[in-house]
Structure 1
Amino acid sequence: MFNLVKTAILMAAITALFIVIGGILGGREGVVMALLFALAMNFFSYWYSDQLVLRMTNAQEVDEHSAPQFYAMVQELAAQAELPMPKVYLIHEDSPNAFATGRNPEHAAVAATTGIMRILSNRELRGVMAHELAHVKHRDILISTIAATMAGAISAIANMALLFGNRQSDGRSGNPIAGLLVALLAPMAAGLIQMSISRAREYEADRGGAEIAQDPEALASALEKIHRYAKGIPFNAVEHHPETAQMMIMNPLTASGISQLFSTHPATEERVHRLMEMARTGRYPA
């Protein structure tokens, strides 16, 4: 229920942001157009955003015939978590990463890159997929998928503002500075909304994944490997669609300086520390 409330708040916040952008760019007419666009985006995001994200990342569905070991691993973990069997996808990218998507546990999908399958042991990969199923179990997947779709739409609107500037309802050109501010600030606002959702969510998925796999050390080891390898291997699909980065088990985009303020994931060192503490004491730190 709490995540459903958060999803509603997210959709309302981004709808309000659309309306503000519409007002700056087009006055009263812009507000009306932005409201209609936001309502359409909310409808689309709820029903179809998971398929859009899977297409953005070039994910390909697999089954017990095309990827028997991987499929069987997800099947065993889903049963352990008392979840319906999700659809399973592979992404042919060298960068090691994974994510989950869907609007609820009955319509969920998990995806992993071929790169992560190469660098991790079966035990470590099991920990990663348990983490993703924890997102499904906690119903994080709807809010993260909607955030990715909405952020992409906001970025597109901001780019249009940067290219064309704003125009008043009477057809006269408006202040170009306003259009520039929208182009700069709208993606930052969307990023802050995502960041407020993602960090606590990752800690909870780490805890839940360790419980599902019954192996906190495996997930800790996997996170260390992913962190080490991902730095030097670009995730091309995410580079082209950076709004999807917050869905991954680890953000594959490099962050330095002020961009670290908009990081959607907690520090890997802290995540590993909490998991190792759970392995030592049997309790995940608060």
Structure 2
Amino acid sequence: MLNFLRTSLLLAALTALFMGVGYLIGGTSGMMIAFVVAAGMNLFSYWNSDKMVLRMQNARPVDPRSAPDLHRMVEQLAQNAGIPTPALYVIQTDQPNAFATGRNPQNAAVAVSSGLLRTLQPNEVAAVVAHELAHIRNRDTLTMTITATFAGAISMLAQFGLFFGGGNSRDNPLGPIGVLIAVLVAPIAAVLVQMAVSRTREYEADKLGAEICGEPMALASALTKIAGHARQTVNIAAERNPAQAHMYIFNPLSGQRMDNLFSTHPNVENRIAQLRQLAGTMTIDPTPPRGSYRPREVNAVPNAGDWRVPPTGGTGGDTSSRGPWG
């Protein structure tokens, strides 16, 4: 009930923001057009935004035959989380990263990058997947996906007003000034909404993900490695669709500082500190041997030692990223 209320309030806020941009560009008529468009986007986002996000991030599906160990690990973690096994996708990019999407646990997907599978140890990959499963169990994915759709649309609407001038003074009392305000303020407002949605949810997903996999320090280690590599590697699909950056476990955009005002993610050092505190409260060995995976009080997850996933028809992203197969 709380998640439904939170999602409803977010939709109302995004719709109001969208209508406000429409008013600044086209006055009352622009606001009404924006309202109609927003209503259509709400329906579309609920049913199809997950598919759109996966397509825009060039995520390719993998099945149990092409990646049996990876699928077996995801199935076991999903059982630990008490949710159906989500669809599994791989993003062809050297940047280690991952995200989850879908309107509910019954219609969810987890996408991991080829760089993540190549860079991290099996228990660290499991911890990252557990983090994404936590988003699915908390029903964050619908909110995050809808926010991405609206944020991108708000930015495009503002750019539309810049190119087409926002109509005459009769339709828009603010005239060109209104268009300028929309162009400057709308993208910032959209990012602030993303920031508010994402930061708290990331902390919650870190905590629940650590409990699902049973190894807080495996997730802490994964975040350390992801942060080190992600800041040095360009994720082309994410750069082309920056409104979806908040969906990833770590900000995929290059040149971003995690502490700045418009960061959609919490500071990675703060996330690791929280995981260290959690590890101190759990009666497990917080520093298991490298490469091992020994969760406590959860079902044993297979130690998938072979992450190789066959190519799925093109790189779909960075031309240099073809995974461990070449």
Any conservation in 2 of the 1:26–1:169 contact (CA below 8 Å)? no
The 8 Å contact of residues 99 and 112 in structure 1, kept in 2 or not, is answered as yes
Give TM-score, length-normalised by structure 2.
Answer: 0.83
Matches of 1:27 and 1:153 in 2, distance apart? 18
Query: Which residue type is aligned with residue 242 of structure 2?
Result: P
Q: What amino acid maps onto 2:256 in structure 1?
A: A
Q: Secondary structure at the match of 2:30?
A: helix
Name the residue aligned to 2:274. Answer: 274
Match of 1:124 in 2: 124
Displacement after TM superposition at 1:255 (Å):
2.1
Moved more, 162-171 or 107-116: 162-171
Letter aligned with residue 77 of structure 1: L
1:185 aligns with 2:185: yes
What CA distance in whole angstroms lies between the structure 2 residues aligned with 1:170 and 1:64? 61
CA 1:113–1:159: 2 relative to 1, 3 Å: same
1:55 aligns with 2:55: yes
For 2:128 and 2:169, how far apart are their aligned partners in 1?
Answer: 52
Paired residue for 1:255? 256
Mapped partners of 1:169, 1:51: distance in 2: 40
5+ long unaligned stretches in structure 2 = 284-326
SS at match of 2:11: helix
Q: Which deviates further from its counterpart, 272-281 or 167-176? A: 167-176
- The percentage of counterpart residues that share the same residue type is 50
Q: Cα offset for 1:174?
A: 6.1
Give the conservation status (yes or no) of the 8 Å contact 1:25–1:168: no
Q: Secondary structure at the match of 1:262?
A: coil
Aligned-partner residue type, residue 38 of structure 1: A
SS in 2 for 1:38: helix
SS in 2 for 1:264: coil
TM-score (norm 1): 0.95
5+ residue gaps in structure 1?
none
Aligned-partner SS, 1:65: coil
Answering whether residue 108 of structure 2 is matched by residue 108 of structure 1, we say yes
Higher relative contact order (CA 8 A, sep 6+): 2
Q: Deviations over 1:88-137 (max 9, x none)?
A: 00001111100000000000000000001111000100000000000001
- C-alpha RMSD of matched pairs (Å): 1.7
Question: Paired residues, what number?
Answer: 282
CA 198–80 in structure 1, closer or farther in 2 if over 3 Å, else same: same
Cα contact 1:93–1:114 (8 A) shared by 2: yes
Equivalent residue runs for 1:151-230 within 5 Å: 151-168=151-168, 170=170, 175-230=175-230
Q: What is the SS of the residue equivalent to 1:261?
A: coil
One-letter amino acid of the counterpart of residue 266, structure 2: P
